[in-house]
A and B are shown apart, each in its own frame.
Chain A
Amino acid sequence: MDDFLVIDHVTKTFGAQRAVDDVSLAVSPGEAFSLLGPSGCGKTTLLRMIAGFERPDRGRILVAGQDITELPPEQRPVNTVFQNYALFPHLNVWENVAFGLRMGRRPREEIRSGVDRMLELVRLAEHARKRPAQLSGGQRQRVAIARALVNRPQVLLLDEPLAALDLKLRQHMLMELNTIHEQVGTTFIYVTHDQGEAMSLSNRIAVMNAGKVEQIDSPEHLYETPRSSFVATFIGDANFFTGKAVEMQHEGYVRVMIEGLGSPLVLSNGVVSSNQMLRLMVRPEKISLTLKRPLSGERVNAFPGVVEDSSYFGSHTRYRIRAGEHLITAQLQRSRFSGGEISPAHGTSVWMSFHPDEGRIVRLEDAA
């Protein structure tokens, strides 16, 4: 995996605020990569620096080995799909797509074939003569993608590509974007605040918070082994417990003493030493609920609690369970109750249990 787009110790401040704080990352050729984070985390500023609309205070940006930090936007091998598409309202679809090629003074024949081919790719050939105002949201988005891709950029930047679309269209465009990415093979950089979008669009995700990159990983790794509680809460839901490592065990497990709950056994990830304070994370759907204490012995962590409330979501049901001072969220699929074992109502005493492999140790420093 050779690095294609390299962000090398880039910092950008606006006034007193560090929008992007010493960020480094590398993207492989052809990869679909996402910058994910809440608004104000610096992801858009980073995108604008890659596109050339902002200049970093420190650090370098390289594409295919070429340092583009000082280049103006028009000279970069990078094109952008803007958040609200920024289609030129005075030009029709065809002229919008041709704009970049015209600016590059390409031969007339090349412009025509290039635009036509691109409009075929996004299935808009029959709308070529329409103005942007006459198109639906999804069509506008496809014009924006075609307008950027026709220039054969080495990197395509997509700023919140699905934010302006309604839910149904969003799911459709999600698949469409994946198809287009497969067909053209260009490096795609998505910027989004929606974890679902990032997870289904990209090979790897950089989770950003307060100008810094918290973790770069594949969607699966981010979800299963988040390194910080920020990542754990930003991607999916999580229960957190603060405790102390009391007993190191063989095969990489550690017993954690949690005040008011008990001493579950979890994977140590090799980062824990005895008597260390740490934070334990368990995803709601990893917790099972039963009326009786589970029998499977010491390999299962089980604690008693009382159901406080439940919300029905169709595909699953969420329970809030009180155990002393802890309020724990558990999420169960309907099918798990098909055995008719329990359907806990408010006030029911239940047992919560999870497998030691499902508990994660995350960094302690930031309280979620």
Chain B
Amino acid sequence: MKRSWIPSLITLGVVLFLFAPLVVLVANSFNASRFGGEWEGFTLNWYEKLWAAGEVWESLWITLKIAVSASLAAMVLGTLAAYALHRFRSWLQNVHHTLITLPLVMPDILMGISLLALFVLTGIETGLLTIWIAHVTFCLSFVTMVVLGRLQDFDFTLIDAARDLGATRAMAVKKVLLPLLLPGVLAGGLLAFTLSIDDYVITFFVSGPGTTTLPLRVASMMRTSRSLPMINALSTLLIASTFVLAVLSSRLQRRA
């Protein structure tokens, strides 16, 4: 049967549309021209400047601390949640499921302002802790969804088989369920990590003095035209690491 060429054309167009700005960004990071209007020769100048910008690396360190600790917490909470959602059918799980999915469709600004309201009203000083709490909250739902998808593919007769072969309930979970679930949990954690590094809006609401994460730093750099080319260089590095993480994550999800 002859296939229409229209969907292929649209697909090509969408991919170009998605990548064109990123490609321009990467190209500009090596462009000697300050505004990147035209090519004025290859340079690593912006990377050198970025390397010397201590505050950027300080922000990166803060961001990484938050991202690692928040995604670890979200992995634990999300895996337990996914297991409960998959294992039980009850009113409790209906409530649970609604609660898990609502943050996924809640605009960032609402989550930001409501957490801010909580911290203001309870008198909790905004800072690293409040950012961490906010990040765990929005990562939790994503991890749960990824692990839940994994559980739905899991063949529970494998647990029966393990017990039939002499494994206790705890042993069956340790030797069969966990090893098979691990790629899903890691993929969920990786997604949480990426989202945490990326978050600007929610962090902006609940951040305090001395907690300028990388996105907050980028936002403030965008206000001064002097540092614009440095953003190109920083963006290129971030896109490259996103690429690595995405490939890693899709490898993990495919392994089974």
Contact = CB atoms under 8 A, between A and B. Distances in A.
Interface of A: 51-53, 72-75, 78-80, 82-84, 86-90, 99-100, 103-104, 147-148, 151
B165 A100 contact: yes
Contacts of A78: 164
Contact of B167 (A52, A89, A90, A103): A103
21 contacts: A51-B160, A51-B164, A52-B164, A53-B160, A53-B163, A72-B163, A73-B160, A73-B163, A74-B164, A74-B167, A78-B164, A82-B161, A86-B161, A87-B161, A88-B161, A88-B162, A99-B162, A99-B165, A103-B162, A148-B164, A148-B165
Interface of B: 155, 157-158, 160-168, 171, 175-176, 179-180, 256
Contacts of A84: 155, 157
Contacts of A82: 157, 160-161
Contacts of B163: 52-53, 72-74
A100 B179 contact: no
A242 B180 CA distance: 59
Nearest to B256: A89
A79 B161 CA distance: 9
Max chain B CB contacts within 10 Å: which of A73, A75, A87?
A73
A52 B157 CA distance: 13
Given A51-B164, A52-B163, A84-B157, 12 more contacts: A73-B160, A74-B163, A80-B161, A82-B157, A84-B155, A86-B157, A88-B162, A88-B176, A90-B180, A99-B175, A103-B167, A104-B166
Max chain B CB contacts within 10 Å: which of A72, A87, A99?
A99
Nearest to A90: B179
What 4 pairs between A and B have smallest CB-CB spacing?
Answer: A100-B165, A103-B166, A86-B161, A73-B163
A95 B256 CA distance: 16
Given A74-B166, A100-B166, A103-B167, A89 B180 contact: yes
A22 B256 CA distance: 43
Nearest to A83: B157
Nearest to A84: B157
Contacts of A74: 163-168
A51 B164 CA distance: 7
Contacts of A104: 166
Nearest to B183: A90
Contacts of B167: 74, 99, 103
A74 B180 CA distance: 21
Nearest to B161: A86
A151 B166 CA distance: 9
A151 B211 CA distance: 59
A347 B171 CA distance: 70
B8 to A, nearest CB: 32
A114 to B, nearest CB: 13
Nearest to A133: B256
Contact of B160 (A86, A87, A89): A86
Max chain A CB contacts within 10 Å: which of B155, B157, B164?
B164
A80 B164 contact: yes
Given A88-B158, A90-B179, A103 B256 contact: no
Nearest to A100: B165
A74 B173 CA distance: 14
A79 B180 contact: no
Contact of A79 (B158, B164, B171, B256): B164
Contacts of B179: 90
A104 B176 CA distance: 16
A72 B256 CA distance: 29
B88 to A, nearest CB: 18
B55 to A, nearest CB: 46
Contacts of A73: 160, 163-164
Contacts of B158: 86, 88
A75 B155 CA distance: 22
A72 B160 CA distance: 11
B165 A147 contact: yes
A216 B126 CA distance: 76
A59 B160 CA distance: 23
Contacts of A151: 165-166
A103 B180 CA distance: 18
Nearest to A99: B165
Contacts of B157: 82-84, 86
A87 B171 CA distance: 16
A19 B65 CA distance: 56
A267 B155 CA distance: 53
Max chain A CB contacts within 10 Å: which of B157, B165, B175?
B165
Contacts of A83: 157
Contacts of A100: 165-166
Contacts of B175: 99
Contacts of A90: 176, 179-180
Nearest to A73: B163
Contacts of B155: 84, 86
Contacts of B256: 89
B172 to A, nearest CB: 8
A38 to B, nearest CB: 22
A23 B157 CA distance: 25
Nearest to B166: A103
Contacts of A103: 162, 165-167, 171
